[in-house]
Amino acid sequence: MILAATRTHLPRNLAVSGWLATSGMLAVICLATGCGRSELGYKPNSLHAASLTREGTDQNPISIAKKASEVVETWFGNIDQPKWPTDQVGLADQVLRMDCVERCAGPVGRGIDKVERGLFRKHCVSCHGLSGDGLGPAAMLLEPYPRDFRRGTFKFKSTPVGKKPTREDIHRTLHDGIPGTAMPSFRALDESEEFAKDVEDLVHYVRFLAIRGEVERRLISLHVREGVELESNSQRMQEVLVQVVQKWADSPDDVLVIPETPDYFQTPSDDSDHAQRIEKGKTLFESELTACVKCHGPTGAGDGKSQDFDEWTKDWTILAGIDPKHPKDWKEMKPFGALKPVLSKPRNFHWGAYHGGKSPSEIFKRIVLGIEGTPMPPVARAHNGNPGLTDQEIWDLVYYVMHLEDR
């Protein structure tokens, strides 16, 4: 499945080398997944350290990233034997289950109990990498690039910008996949009797990687910006750990309550009602209040004039004083794990391939919450006395967007 997705993105002039490319990819993937006890480990986040130390400092990003990684390892364990920092924070049960994390970590195989382990390496590492950094063997061939979990930022969720996704949000992404990208659906696993638990276990491991990675990033930032020593017994460092974990524990309290989907999405309405809703939605789509056409274009074909990079790219380019449009500038970050900056493409609604789901409620959610980490902002909603679109107007906008698929 991964190989099929990879070959789809190979240039035409490499088609004749398809067999060689596939063979080479297999070799790389085998090295990444492993068959026995591995000497592999979580990679230090050198790219984040390099982006913070690029200007106005003579600090060594490689050394900083390595020290931060060592601190994080004392709390979260290594790639084959993960653990939870129980002595520093006791919220494990509210955030994830370590038995699920342990099953997903390490090499692929079965123990005496016949339980399959190493699920992350089996299903995810080719794209997302061993560290969850989005730098798996296939990453550079894919567009969009696989997600780097370490930033703690997730696109498709039921919580506002700045809040963490729930378990159900991540499960939904794994179950449904992300249409129009190389991210496959794990629906077959989820609905099988033998492998049904695999998807839920992967949810816990993704959360583990995100928590671990965000803690690591914040430790690096704290050291570079404030000079706090990278030591596991540092009170400031432990405060960072608690803050990150607490945000994940709070995520169920921040879920958007979606009003009931109007019946006319399910049952055909007469032509006059249909045309009226389309016109209302079109007016909103073209309005300054929603600004949809700036990115998605006047016909919703994704050809608007506003083009931008996502937050993962801006992290190590614009925020570090690098112009992502100039190869001479951004290539200095390649040794630290940077991939070529690619513009975040607005959705072409005519394709009907909605990355976050195509049900009316999911599109409502994307409009109200935005898509975190991307140029797609949340719309102003008239809620709790705040000015903005009413829920009915948002449903009209949803109706119009879904109508564009038929054009």
String of DSSP letters for 295-332: HH-TTSSS--S--B--HHHHHHTGGGT--TT-HHHHGG
pLDDT in tens, 258-282: 999 999 998 877 778 899 999 999 9
Angle separating helix axes 196-226 and 167-176, nearest 10 degrees: 120
State which H helix or E strand residue 188 sits in.
Answer: helix 187-190
CB atoms within 10 A of CB 128: 23
Look at residues 305, 119, 142 and name the one whose alpha carbon lies nearest to residue 202.
119
Q: For the chain, give the mean pLDDT.
A: 89
Q: Is the pLDDT of residue 114 over 70?
A: yes
* Average pLDDT of the segment spanning 5-21: 34
What pLDDT does 9 receive? 37
- Asked if the peptide bond before residue 387 counts as cis, ω within 30 degrees of 0, the response is no
Per-residue pLDDT of 149-187, as tens digits, reads 999 999 999 999 999 999 999 999 999 999 999 999 999
Strand 116-117 versus strand 109-110 pairing type: antiparallel
Cα→Cα distances 358→161, 233, 301, 361, Å: 20, 47, 16, 8
Q: Minimal CA–CA distance to 209: which of 291, 125, 330, 299? A: 125
Burial tier of 76 (Cβ tally within 10 Å: 0-12, 13-18, 19+): buried
Residue-by-residue DSSP string for 61-126: HHHHHHHHHHHHHHHHB-SSSB---TTT---HHHH--HHHHHHHSSSSEE-TT--EE-HHHHHTHH
Joined together, the tokens standing for residue 261 give 């989907």
Segment (H or E) for 395: helix 391-403
Q: Find how far residue 400's CA is from the centre of its chain.
A: 27
Q: How confident is the model at residue 28 (pLDDT cuts 50, 70, 90)?
A: very low
CB 344 within 8 A of CB 375: yes
Label residue 90 by pLDDT band (50, 70, 90).
confident
CB-based contact 136:126 (threshold 8 Å): yes
Residues in the chain: 407
- Other Cβ atoms closer than 10 A to 31: 11
- Is 381 strand, coil or helix? strand
Radius of gyration over every alpha carbon of the chain, rounded to an integer in angstroms: 22
Nearest to 312 by CA among 303, 320, 304: 320
Q: Which two tokens stand for residue 102?
A: 């342990």
Domains of the chain: 2-254 (no CATH), 263-308+343-406 (1.10.760.10)
Cα dist. 89→249, 266, 297 in Å? 11, 47, 48
User: What whole-number distance in Å separates Cα of residue 88 and Cα of residue 95?
Assistant: 15
Q: pTM of whole model > 0.85?
A: yes
Res. 316: pLDDT tops 60: yes
| CA–CA gap between residue 19 and residue 26 (Å, rounded) | 11
Please count the CA atoms within 13 angstroms of the CA of 363 that sit on its side-chain side. 20
**Confidence (pLDDT) at 10:** 34
Which pLDDT does position 26 carry in this prediction? 45
